[in-house]
Amino acid sequence: MVKKYFTSKNITRLAIFTALSVVLYMFVKFPLPFFPAFLEFQFSDLPALLAGFMTGPVSGAIVLVLRTLIKVPFSNTACVGEAADLIIGLAFVLPAAFIYRSRRTLGGAIVALAVGTASTVVAAMIVNRFILVPFYSVAFGFEAVIGMVRAVFPTITDETFYVYYIFGAVLPFNLMRSLICALLTFALYKRLKNLFDRIFPESRAAKSENGGIITKSEAETAKFAEKFAEKLAGGEVILLCGELGAGKTAFVRGLAKGLGIKENVTSPTFALMNSYKGRLTLVHIDAYRLGSGKEAYEAGLTEYFYAADTVC
């Protein structure tokens, strides 16, 4: 699995997204006038989120970890700020990528980004309350921290500091930042995924090396499909074409068995799509009622095509 994961396509994605994340993290950040000056607005989680959507949660986490490690030698916060940013970033990317991996549809993307946004905002509030503010209070003094926040909230006191800072600054600041990242992900993901697919066409559907095969019964069809499943590594799209009763569902049942799927496989004629979990995720789509590729796209079915851990 490690060998299959680290393909040239995935390594290229990781390299590009990590480089973008590092540049955004180290050079493209700025304070906003209506928030404390030490809260710097930056979008370095965006490449990690795109990587997580394209290749899975592990890729998103790798981008964030590499970004952090590259930044550490240049830290001016004894690495505490970088560690906090890593926690907040992981809270954004991992939930979103996990949800989208299992629901690769338009609705799934919206839910994934919404959950990721909520998760990272909560993580930012906790990290600021229990890690960053205590650290900066020790490093510079609590009065100095209050003084920086007082520039935005003039009536703040020692007793009201956390209420003003956490709910008046940290919450809206991170909500705004994560919403912008989510919207950019929503707008860019499909275009970038298609670009990578064009650059690396070799990662598309595998072709059988057995040539033409003739089976004489459902059992033979299923047996061949079970054996064929051993060759699958994820990212394949298999087209089944035939009349009613030709053995298409029998082939899928054999494929499911070969992928270690225990569920009963049925034809998704009315549901359009059934999904089964095994060594790989098997997505069974019945295109009979679809009139065009555009309908498949609008239904969100094409999101499953060529996914790293999925066979369609």
CA dihedral 207, 199, 106, 259 (to 10 degrees): 30
CATH 3.40.50.300 spans which residues of the chain?
Answer: 204-311
pLDDT at 204: 38
Side by side, the strands of the sheet bearing 273-277 are: 273-277, 281-285, 310-311
Single-letter amino acid code for the residue at 20: L
Structure tokens at 93: 């990317």
Tell me what pLDDT residue 201 has: 58
Q: Which CATH superfamily is domain 204-311 in?
A: P-loop containing nucleotide triphosphate hydrolases (3.40.50.300)
Q: What is the pTM of this model?
A: 0.68
For residue 181, what pLDDT is reported? 96
Compute how many other C-beta atoms are within 10 angstroms of the C-beta atom of residue 288: 10
φ and ψ of 275, to 5 deg: -125, 140
Give the separation between CA 38 and CA 138, rounded to whole angstroms. Answer: 16
Contact (Cβ atoms closer than 8 angstroms) between residue 54 and residue 193: yes
Pick the CATH number of 2-201 from 3.40.50.300, 1.20.1530.20, 1.10.1760.20, 3.30.413.10: 1.10.1760.20
Q: Residue 158 has what pLDDT? A: 92
Distance CA 139, CA 4 (A): 46
Which tens digit of pLDDT belongs to each residue from 249-261?
A: 889 999 999 999 9
The dihedrals phi and psi of 43, each to the nearest 5 degrees, come to: -120, 30
> Nearest 5°: phi and psi at 12?
-65, -45
**Would you state the pLDDT for residue 198?**
73
pLDDT at position 245: 66
Q: What's the alpha-carbon Rg for the chain, to the nearest Å?
A: 24
- The crossing angle, in degrees rounded to 10, of helices 80-102 and 171-199 is 60
Q: What is the 3-state secondary structure (H, E, C) of 63-94?
A: HHHHHHHHHHHHCCCCCHHHHHHHHHHHHHHH
Position 102, amino acid:
S
Regions of the chain with pLDDT less than 70: 1-5, 201-211, 244-245, 269-271, 289
6 φ, ψ (degrees, to nearest 5) = -85, 60
Listed in order, the ranges of the chain carrying CATH 1.10.1760.20 are 2-201
With beta carbons less than 8 A apart as the criterion, state whether 273 and 284 touch: yes
DSSP label at residue 167: I
Q: How far is CA 37 from the centre of its chain?
A: 31
